[in-house]
Amino acid sequence: MSGASELKIDIAERFQHLPHAPIVEAVIDVRARAEGSWEEEAVKSQVSAKLPNYSYLDSQRTYETEIKLAPEKPEQVFRDLGCKGVRFRSKDERQICQFNRDGFVFSRLPPYEDWEKLYGEAMRLWQVYSDIARPTQLQRLGLRFINRIELPSGELRYEDYIQPAAEPPRLLQVPFHGFLHLDTLAVPGHPYVINVIRTIQPAPDQPLAVILDIDVFTAVALDLDPRAMAQRLLEMRWLKNKVFFGSITDKALAKFK
């Protein structure tokens, strides 16, 4: 079917604040190619000078392995293709930022505080990236919230926590061993796409958990205008909240309050 009317996005809508929100990572991802030179040591030292409350974590390098099949003996060639970017971590280890040749990523790890803090810190760090990389245009902007909803011990009814839940085939009502459900949603009248992933994450030393991963993004290029970027992020946040509150059950909501 087609022809859906434009979705009205209401960024003034208020959503419940959840003190125990199950957010394990909140991400703001900006793809924008560095126009200046991108040398690992120079980038490291510039970021270090501008962000005293962050410390260098590691460098992301690109490697390539090639296997040449020869009659006698296969030969393996390993190449280091250079630095893709550097990562820095806040002193409290709750925030990680990636300064990459092809963009900037800010991740907030638990505990998630609130939107204002996430947005404020991401924009502060984006400005640092922008000063160093001097991009001329944003190619992609993403806002992703990954929720990990732990199931109480002995309780394996994930459908009590997220809806719609995965269903076994009508003619074979057997339990799930696992599932991965990806929905890609269009947003009529707006340049956004939403990927929603629901899956089960088994972890040997943690309770079984349902992952609800909401990734709202736009790949429509945007000029470097902070107001336009802020507007997009607010709209994406509204979409993310609609997906989240529309995916969890009352039982789950009570658990997060």
What residue ranges bind other proteins (CB under 8 A)? Answer: 1-2, 4, 24-25, 27-29, 31, 33, 64, 79, 81, 87, 96, 98, 102-103, 105, 107, 109, 139-140, 142-144, 146, 148, 180, 182, 184, 186, 188, 191-193, 195, 197, 199, 201, 203, 211, 213, 215, 217-221
Which residue, 24 or 252, is less far from other proteins as judged by CB? 24
Beta carbon of residue 79, minimum distance to other proteins (angstroms, whole number): 7
Instruction: Output the smallest distance, CB 91 to other proteins, in A.
Output: 17
Q: How many CB atoms lie within 10 A of CB 45?
A: 12
Distance in Å, CB of 247 to other proteins, minimum:
15
Per-residue tokens: 195: 């990927």
> Is the preceding omega at residue 175 within 30 degrees of 0, hence cis?
no
Interaxial angle between packed helices 226-245 and 115-133, expressed in degrees from 0 to 180 and rounded to the nearest 10: 140
Residue 58 CB, nearest distance to other proteins (Å)?
11
- Comparing CB distances to other proteins, the nearer of 48 and 179 is 179
Least Å distance, CB 225 to other proteins, is 18
Cβ closest to other proteins, residue 1 vs residue 174: 1
**Which C-beta is closer to other proteins: that of 96 or that of 252?**
96
Nearer to other proteins, 223 or 250 (CB): 223
Of the candidates 132, 89, 122, the one whose C-alpha atom is nearest the C-alpha of residue 233 is 122
Contact 11, 137 (CB under 8 A): no
| Residue with smaller CB distance to other proteins, 64 or 72 | 64
178, 200 in Cβ contact below 8 A?
Answer: yes
d(CA 160, CA 136): 47
State the nearest-atom distance from the C-beta of 94 to other proteins, in Å. 11
**Which residue from 66, 47, 65, 67 is spatially nearest to 56, judged by alpha carbons?**
47
Please say whether the beta carbons of 129 and 206 come within 8 A.
no
- 143 in Cβ contact with 240 (< 8 Å): yes
Helical spans, DSSP H, in 134-249: 226-245
